[in-house]
Structure 1
Amino acid sequence: MVKPVREFRELAVKSLNEFVYGTAPNPVKTKNGLVIGGGTVYPEVNLTLPPMNITESTMKIVRRHYNDMIEGILKRAKELYAPGVIIELELLPPTTINPQWGAEIHKILRDKMYEYEEKYGLKSAIRCTPNDTREMQRPPLMKQGEYYENMLETFALCARDGADFLSIESTGGKEVHDEALMTCDLKKAIFALGVLGVHDMRFLWGKIVDIAKEHNSIAAGDTACGFGNTAFALAEQGLIPRVFAAVDRVATVPRSLAAYEMGAVGPSKDCAYEGPYLKAIAGIPLSMEGKTAACAHLSPLGNIAACVADMWSNESVQNVMLLSAPAPTVSTEQLIYDCRLMNVAKEESLENAFKLRDWLAKSDASLDPQAYVLRPDVVLEISKEMVKETSPLARTKKAAALAVEALRQGVARKELNIAEKEMKWLDIMSSQIDTIPDDPDKLWYEIQKELDLAKWIPAEYALKVS
């Protein structure tokens, strides 16, 4: 496994009095002077196309959509006196497979953002997020091949053309994790996250950090969207227990932390609900999403997700017409008003900011275990113990165990309601964790006979089949 360039052995956030939205121990500054984590919460608008095919023949329509979306977003941000706005361009598979298409779309947005800054003084920044197209080949090639090469080229072209932040929703280990979710097998999930996921993250983020340095961009961060968010989507549909999804979420933290071990500096990706743990440990600024992401997915984390956010996002919204305006423009307005409230509370006093933070937490935390594990005090307590472990697997295993115990304590203190039918899963998960060795080689030896090796290639993760 690639060695990290940084190690996190203690928390960057020492107490609840340092853990609040808008402020991070290690803020990030863009080339035009926007400071993320420096005191102000900024909206991050994520925009995408309506359902359509992307081909050479439709690229004219694609360009028009992106031009219309960015014009509407920036115009509304100017009209509402936003102190700044971040745009996230999540490139779709065809516009990552064809790097020139991705670069062209990025330039449409970037040029319009420059124009609004020059004409109106509206500061903005853009996050470029290529699609992890490696998974489009089955079984995936993680370190080689056309999909991998084109993905890196897309990063490089957009960074060259002025992308402020580079991010991705990487998928290393997802095949095994998906299998684990279907059977609620925590041992497999921890292997996927703490062995496969960390290995791939360290490899990939070493490359992304190098691209960012070469082109004066900021390596921002990853997300466990394909892992923890898949779990919470399944839990929302009643297909797996909510407590399993909550524990799985905390277990994703060491995997996502690997980006920062390799030199990323934030802000983290909006759909990384594990973000509060990353801020507590690495001190990086966060983008988070909650109630204003209902345009993309439903969630039990609508308010609590904002507690320690430094940017507030809508996840992703299609360019469709609503009664008032196109949906990306509507999302922009919603995000600006949310950020305005948080910023005004903080400007009046830090005490008011803490009060709003605690209200946001209290409104969600007791109603769902997935929300409870995002309570700022719970995040700090788990993070403090997690970082005492030194290996990714041991940290992932410890994270899961600490999450189970936190849920137990929450129920015992009457701070958390868990459905009776789910309570037994706390004991089941504890038993599963007890069977997991701390040595990744030993775990691989034990678990390989239980895995479908036709779905992924162990050699891509430096593993040999015995």
Structure 2
Amino acid sequence: TGSIASGDTACGFANTAMVLAERRFIPKVFAAVDRVISAVRSLAAVEAGAIGPHKDCGYEGIYVKAITGIPIAMEGRSSAVAHPSPVGNIAACAADLWSNESVQHIKLLGGYAPVVSMEQLAYDCRLMNGASGRGPDTARLLRDLHADSDSALDPQAYVLRPDVVVAIAKQIVADTHGPFSRSKTAARAAVEALRDGLAAGQLNLDSRETDWLDRIEDQLDQIPEDEEAFIRAMIDETEKLNPAHYDLV
């Protein structure tokens, strides 16, 4: 393809936000918006020739699949041994591969942790394969149960609902002005989806979280249309960044 082989996910950005939100350092709605923006970054790899499966810890993979159709690996409840997350069930909605992440080699009552974790993973896969084997209706029922069991409880899960993903993905694809513009489109669409979910009673948010939706929108309004102008402004605010390392000077 003429491209340099590299990673295909932006999970380092969105997953950092997820962990910070779990520790209450940042709002959950901020992490949710960050997750949707990361879909644009991961999409760039597919546009450059990546064929998947998309990496398991990139929960934004469902967006990439909705847009490109490539297979995706996902992780969720079976990876709780590695880290907590609010998306343990909903992550399975469109998974082609199911992963259990990193597991320490320690002794548990049931055996060594990797063996125990593999057993849990196997049961998950049996359930999903069994549902698929019974036909599309049963597979969709399991998908919807996975989605509904998580999506109302956390905005980071809500933006992974298949119906929400498809709606936002359409807006991302419709934006043909490049990744920078697409990222802003994705962010605005995520905020709109969270507001709609809240209004419809499909998402539970406390007042501190809803206040941040307004603040995020205000910040988006302040981002210039010109990408180079935005980069210059951000460089001035990042003391530890060496622009030369990223061909920015």
Distance across 1 between alignment mates of 2:84 and 2:31: 15
Q: Which amino acid aligns with 1:306?
A: A
Q: Which amino acid aligns with 2:247?
A: A
Structure 1 residue 445 displacement after superposition: 2.7
Residue 228 of structure 2 is matched in structure 1 by: 441
Distance across 2 between alignment mates of 1:445 and 1:347: 54
Instruction: State TM-score, norm by structure 1.
Output: 0.52
Distance across 1 between alignment mates of 2:159 and 2:74: 15
Structure 1 residue 241 displacement after superposition: 0.6
Structure 1 residue 408 displacement after superposition: 0.4
Which consecutive unaligned segments of at least 5 residues does structure 1 have?
6-204, 210-220
Distance across 2 between alignment mates of 1:445 and 1:301: 35
Structure 1 residue 267 displacement after superposition: 0.5
Structure 1 residue 264 displacement after superposition: 0.9
Q: Which amino acid aligns with 1:412?
A: A
Structure 1 residue 444 displacement after superposition: 1.8
Which consecutive unaligned segments of at least 5 residues does structure 2 have?
none
Structure 1 residue 456 displacement after superposition: 2.6
Query: Pairwise mapping of residues 410-421 of structure 1 onto structure 2 (< 5 A)?
Result: 410-421=197-208
Query: Pairwise mapping of residues 345-364 of structure 1 onto structure 2 (< 5 A)?
Result: 345-364=131-150
Kept after mapping to 1: 8 A contact 2:76/2:87:
yes
Deviations 1:8-52 (A, max 9, x none): xxxxxxxxxxxxxxxxxxxxxxxxxxxxxxxxxxxxxxxxxxxxx
**Structure number, greater radius of gyration:** 1
SS at match of 2:107: coil
Residue 269 of structure 1 is matched in structure 2 by: 55
Deviations 1:54-91 (A, max 9, x none): xxxxxxxxxxxxxxxxxxxxxxxxxxxxxxxxxxxxxx
The counterpart of 1:246, out of the listed 23, 32, 55, is 32
Residue 290 of structure 1 is matched in structure 2 by: 76
Higher relative contact order (CA 8 A, sep 6+): 1
Deviations 1:322-374 (A, max 9, x none): 11221111111111110111111111111000011001000000000000000
- Across the aligned residues of Structure 1 and Structure 2, the Cα RMSD in angstroms comes to 1.4
Deviations 1:184-209 (A, max 9, x none): xxxxxxxxxxxxxxxxxxxxx93227
Residue 3 of structure 2 is matched in structure 1 by: 206
Residue 432 of structure 1 is matched in structure 2 by: 219
Deviations 1:215-256 (A, max 9, x none): xxxxxx533232111101111111111011100111111111
1:460 paired with 2:245, answer yes
Deviations 1:89-145 (A, max 9, x none): xxxxxxxxxxxxxxxxxxxxxxxxxxxxxxxxxxxxxxxxxxxxxxxxxxxxxxxxx
Residue 134 of structure 1 is matched in structure 2 by: none
The counterpart of 1:278, out of the listed 54, 57, 64, is 64
1:223 paired with 2:9, answer yes
Distance across 2 between alignment mates of 1:438 and 1:451: 20
Q: How many residues align?
A: 248
Distance across 2 between alignment mates of 1:222 and 1:447: 25
SS at match of 1:267: coil
Q: Which has the higher strand share?
A: 1
Q: Which has the higher helix share?
A: 2
Instruction: State TM-score, norm by structure 2.
Output: 0.96
* Segments of 4+ moved more than 4 angstroms: none
